[in-house]
Amino acid sequence: MHLTVGVTGHRDLVADEVPLLKQAVRNFFLRLKREFPDLDIQLITPLAEGSDQLVTEVALELDIALIVPLPMPQAEYEKDFSSDAAVETFRRSLARARIIYLRTLPVANEGPVTMADRDRQYAQLGIFISNHSQVLLTIWDGKPSDAVGGTASVVNYHLTAVMPGYSFAEDSPNLLADNENDLAYHIVCSRDQFDGKPREGFEPLQASWVTAHFTQQSGEHMPLDYEVMMHRLQDFSRDAIKYEALIKEEGANLLENAPDLELPEGTQTINERHKVADWLAIHFQKRISLGLITVHSIAVLIGLIFIVYSEFDGFDFLLKFFLVAFLAGLLLYKIGERRQWHRKHLDYRALAEGLRVQFYWSLAGVIDVQSAEFAYDNFLQKQDVDLGWIRHVMRNVSLARSRHQVPPEEWVDWVVEQWVGDESSQTGQLAYYKRKEMEKTRRFRRTTNLGRIALWAGILIAIVLMIWGGDMSDYQQNLLLVLAGILPLMAGVRDAYSHKKAEKELIKQYRFMGGILANARRLLDGSEDVEFRRRVLKALGNAALEEDAEWILMHRERPLEHTGI
């Protein structure tokens, strides 16, 4: 798993500051390696002259992998370097990097390339680097600037989701949401030009963490919310390594029944990441289910012990069992809390379902191969910032996809059958949601029936005691009273278990998604227009992501607890 650092900075650094800037960058990378040892750092940089090449030099010395997005053809890009030495440095570093060609605008067409074209290309480059970075390392004088695609505008986009002068980002749907993608590490620099001093209030080599709306925090450690998010990512990496052999053997392969067609670049990466997330989600779901069943069984046992102790003499020894049962339930709760069963189950399931959408979108050609932004960028945006690591994983795997390859149209048919399916098939989400709706309905009906049985049994026992109680022995009366206590106890515990599993709410959710999928299938079957079918699949994916966000919110309110015991 990777921790991705992006770079933006000035080209015209002051020579006297360069050695100290290198040391500041080195210290920054070493701190990240020390704090997150299970994450492989990778650097996204266009290898531009000045700051980019400075950071790249340090990164290569520390064996940090390079990803180089090029905003235009290499020959055209090299025209922006001021010397042959800078071009040589660029080419030498490029040979050690993975290259991503962005070419999102037609600057490579015949005819002169205008400055406006170049500005738009650099703006797209800045958006790409920002969107794919968990931390943006910026070597910047702190001064605002109107230059489209310049350092100041990239920093502004990273912190506010708006790039001044570039309309693509102006209508961002997430402007009012808390943004986990706004973490930057700012190292102040001077510029080798007239009035090249840093902005007033800044000193050269001053360093600080910067978050949304330019909130600054000095010191080595990143802001707590973001540190928690990085640790969530590191937990996922550790769990993937811990269970690697089992995941390889048992993990679900989304490409298991794939046709013999050209596979879009990067799809296998998404598939492998989904296999890990899906297996881990199931693993921790089993832990949670076992914990819920055990805790609620202990609750029934404790209630039974208390009722028997209250109604019969000579059962003082049951107090020991009462205490042991309670402590056993408390111990199980503490183990689950310490090992984060609940949190990991929800996070990994949300990630797996997000990757499932990303996988099928990629295969069907739904994702805009040229876009620097993401169709799923509002996924879990309304949740806590520590869930942002899920989007970071999705962004990270998107680095592997080609931005120029449109998948063969035949993949659309396969995606429809594997993702949507129909009610009678063994594959597809439509059959899954219909089946789960029926299962949850049956379980909820059993819970309701148990409550009714307990109610009427209690009334019946009360009638029996009223009419024939005088003819019964004390033992018989106590036995009926115990039975009258046990039945509502079992019904209450079963209802509490049903609430923890959110069975009633899930019935509505499964029914809703089943309807969405049925409508999608109807539209897909009714058209042979590939572009229209892709639009339907995109709408379906957005609905699935929204449903996934609602699911995780619902279950976060129902953790494994010991208080009910």
pLDDT higher than 50, residue 162 = yes
Residue 542 and residue 394: Cα distance in Å, rounded? 15
Question: Cα 244 vs. chain centroid, distance in angstroms?
Answer: 20
Please state the rounded mean pLDDT for residues 513-536: 92
Number of Cβ within 10 Å of residue 128's Cβ equals 23
Class of the domain covering 2-222:
alpha beta
Out of 34-38, 140-144, 379-383, pick the least confident. Answer: 379-383
pLDDT at 257: 86
Q: How far, rounded to the nearest angstrom, does the alpha carbon of residue 509 sit from its chain's CA centroid?
A: 21
Q: How far apart are CA 222 and CA 185, in angstroms?
A: 9
CA distance 349 to 347: 6
Strand order in the sheet with 207-211: 98-101, 65-70, 40-44, 2-9, 135-140, 184-188, 207-211, 215-217
- Nearest Cα neighbor of 539 from 414, 369, 409, 361 is 361
Please say whether the beta carbons of 254 and 271 come within 8 A. Answer: yes
**Highest mean pLDDT, choosing among 31-40, 121-130, 145-154, 211-220:** 31-40
Q: Which of residues 559 and 31 earns the better pLDDT score? A: 31
Q: What is the pLDDT of residue 558?
A: 66
234 vs 393: CA distance, rounded Å = 11
Are 181 and 130 spatial neighbours (Cβ–Cβ below 8 Å)? yes
pLDDT above 70: residue 38: yes
Residue in the structure block whose two tokens are 């002259």: 49
pLDDT at 322: 77
| Rounded Cα gap, residues 179 and 182, in angstroms | 6
- C-alpha to C-alpha distance for 24 and 207, rounded to whole angstroms: 8
- Surface-to-core class of residue 289, CB atoms within 10 Å of its CB (0-12 exposed, 13-18 middle, 19+ buried): middle
What pLDDT shows up at residue 176? 47
Give the CA dihedral 149, 150, 156, 158, nearest 10 degrees. 70
| Domain range list for the chain | 2-222, 267-556
Q: Which of 101, 364, 407, 397 is nearest to 263 (CA)?
A: 407
> 544 pLDDT exceeds 80?
yes
Contact 9, 185 (CB under 8 A): no
C-alpha closest to that of 539 among 550, 524, 554: 524
pLDDT interval class at 565 (50, 70, 90): very low
Q: What's the rounded mean pLDDT across residues 172-187? A: 66
Q: What is the pLDDT of residue 101?
A: 86
What is each CA distance from 10 to 71, 85, 190, in whole angstroms? 17, 18, 9
Backbone phi and psi for residue 65, each to the nearest 5 degrees, phi listed first: -70, 145
- What pLDDT score was predicted for residue 209? 95
Per the DSSP assignment, residues forming a β-bridge with 40 are: 2
Contact 440, 507 (CB under 8 A): yes
Task: Please answer whether residues 169 and 127 qualify as being in contact, where contact means their C-beta atoms are separated by less than 8 angstroms.
Answer: yes
Residue 349 in this model has a pLDDT that exceeds 50: yes
The H helix count followed by the E strand count for the chain is 17, 8
Residues in the chain: 565
Q: What are phi and psi of 441, to 5 degrees?
A: -65, -45
Q: Which helix (H) or strand (E) holds 227?
A: helix 224-242
Q: Cα–Cα distance between 168 and 153 in angstroms, integer? A: 13
Alpha carbon distance 46, 90 (integer Å): 9
Kindly report the pTM of this predicted structure. 0.84
Rounded Cα distance, 148 and 125, in Å: 11
Structure tokens at 332: 């199980």
Are 433 and 540 in contact, with CB atoms under 8 Å apart?
Answer: no
What pLDDT is recorded for position 152? Answer: 92
Six token digits for residue 291? 């914990």
List, for residues 50-88, the tens digit of each pLDDT value. 999 999 999 999 999 999 999 888 988 999 999 999 999
Secondary structure element (H or E) that encloses residue 99, with its range: strand 98-101
Q: Which of 75-84, 193-202, 423-432 has the lowest mean pLDDT?
A: 423-432
Cα gap 348→345, rounded to integer Å? 5
Distances (CA, A) of 528 to 524, 525, 537: 8, 8, 13
Which pLDDT score is estimated for 337?
83
489 or 49, greater pLDDT: 49
Q: Among candidates 289, 271, 444, 276, which has minimal Cα distance to 357?
A: 271
Beta bridge partners of 163: none
Is the distance from CB of 92 to CB of 66 less than 8 angstroms? no
**How large is the average pLDDT for residues 31-40?**
95
Q: Looking at the DSSP assignment, which residues form a beta bridge with residue 209? A: 185, 217
Q: Are strands 184-188 and 207-211 parallel, antiparallel or unpaired?
A: antiparallel
Contact between 273 and 355 (Cβ < 8 Å): yes
Q: What is the DSSP letter of 13?
A: B
